[in-house]
Amino acid sequence: MSKPIRTLVVDDEPLARKGLTVRLAQFPIIDIIGECSNGRDAVKVIQEEQPDLVFLDIQMPGWSGFDVLRQLKQSVESMPLVVFVTAYDQYAIRAFEVRALDYILKPVDEVRLAAAIDRIIEALGHELGNTQQQRLLELVAEMTGEDCEDILRQLAEGGSLVQNNYPEHIAIKDSGEITRVAINAIEWVDAAGDYMCIHAGNETHILRRTMKELEQELNPKMFQRIHRSAIVNVHQVEKLCSRQNGEYHIVLHNGKELKVSRSYKDKIKQLILGN
């Protein structure tokens, strides 16, 4: 095929992105249309630019590579071809080979990368991209909010991930309009009188329900109460800090600081260490 393959590189590590783009530049057929340092930006660029191919890092702060796939499943008509980039060698090889999904390990090996490019060209030239897209969708359907390494381990063992009955979206009604907010896009929730503020990205939504009712609908492996009037998405937590007066607070990836009650300190610490 002679048509350039429009390619996006997604990795939170600047040196990793640079190394991969330098190696990809050796392939004239690869047209790098951009780079993204996080999953949220990657979803936006993929929606707008519709690349043919995405090199997607699995483990990133905030939205992981798996979270990116889940968002794309809900927001794009056709999935791009995806080559996973991972530092995991214990589980990733088995997990992806079983599902015939392509991957490269960090640090990127030039011979392995060339083999991946050859397979991509063949898939696009023989219209096999739909097969890979279907396998990606099947992977997305199996995923939960668990840690990346747990997902890879379970996939490598040949099992399907058990789906919990937790919704992927929450419907918020306000002024006669209903907004669907993706659960994994929620960063934190705080109570304000008889309603709650749902913080997701740059938007804040008002939900007229009780904290207890909402908490029952959220996956406890992903969301944790940090005091009586706040719930946090543990995937959005960058660090847990203690002050000299004995109080604790967490810092989210967006820089937001939230106070943690002492009664919830051990639980949030456990979830952060586990993620």
Other CB atoms within 10 A of residue 39 CB: 25
pLDDT of residue 189: 95
Q: Which pairing describes strands 188-192 and 177-182: parallel, antiparallel, or unpaired?
A: unpaired
Q: Which helix (H) or strand (E) holds 70?
A: helix 65-75
pLDDT tens column, 90-107: 778 877 877 767 889 888
If you classify domain 5-156 with CATH, what class do you get? Answer: alpha beta
Q: Residues 221, 146: contact at Cβ < 8 Å?
A: yes
Q: How far is CA 12 from the centre of its chain?
A: 12
Q: Please tell me the predicted confidence (pLDDT) of residue 274.
A: 54
pLDDT reported for residue 3: 87
- Domain segments of the chain: what residues? 5-156, 170-274
Neighbours of 107 (CB within 10 A): 10
Tell me, what's the pLDDT at 256? 92
Q: Which residues of the chain fall short of a pLDDT of 50?
A: 275
The CATH code that applies to domain 170-274 is 2.40.50.1020
